[in-house]
Amino acid sequence: MSTSPRRIAIFGATSDIAVAFARAHAAGGTRFALSARDGAALDRLAQDLKVRGAGEVTVRTVDFADLSQLPAIAEAMWGAFGGLDVALIAYGSLPDQAKACLDPALAEEALRLNFTSPALLVNTLAGYFEAARAGTIAVITSVAGDRGRQSNYVYGGAKGGLQTFLDGVRHRLHASGVTVLDIRPGFVATKMTQHLPQTGPLWAQPDKVASDISAAIAKRRAVLYTPWFWWVIMTIVCALPRAVFHRSKL
């Protein structure tokens, strides 16, 4: 891990993966601009990062489901330290698929928080990074976005749309030298998945995912499957013929 001071903005900073990522980068005077919905949790994280060696930490509360707040929060986070080296977008929600099938409002809420909001935020941030001609926009999507499945297609559809959106932004920003990283975790033991049995070889801890994100940013990668074996799994899942795939209960 580099000890050089950096400027990192994290949107959805109180998520478990985001906290692990921030802690991994705190030493060496890194400056953080943090935003999330829970102001008290943000304050606790800011104090934690300062103890670990962060140079400066600013916090802002924001409801990412309120799309009208996105331009202002992007401007504030970019301007906190006169620009950014890394912007990590880490918020989202995991809806109950069965309920979302029956409740259009619940499905719309999930699509807004997992696709519309992060896509619009990336679009705004892209303008700042493009003008600076440097930096990394890193966005947590999911392996669920690789292929639609009956068990989670509301969530997976939003993440799949976001993956395609990032692909386009990456194409747009290529000439400016800005990196756009699409982070596709599998099962991660976090608060968002605490209602599921978090055991078995496919489950990863937030620290592992955060470490993989840091390495991918350093290598300026475009797409990260984390842990790595999800690339193998999803390659197989995506290669299954539809006639075979539809017989499964995935």
- Catalytically active residues, by annotation: 155
CB atoms within 10 A of CB 192: 15
57's enclosing H/E stretch is strand 56-61
Name the residue with tokens 């030298």. 177
Which strands make up the sheet holding 86-89, listed edge to edge?
Answer: 56-61, 31-36, 7-11, 86-89, 136-140, 179-185, 223-226
Q: How far apart are CA 137 and CA 126, in angstroms?
A: 8
User: 30-57 b/e with 16+ CB inside 10 Å = b?
Assistant: bbbbbbbeeeebbeebbeebeeeebbbb
Helices (H), the chain: 16-25, 39-51, 70-79, 97-102, 104-111, 117-132, 153-173, 206-218, 229-239, 242-245
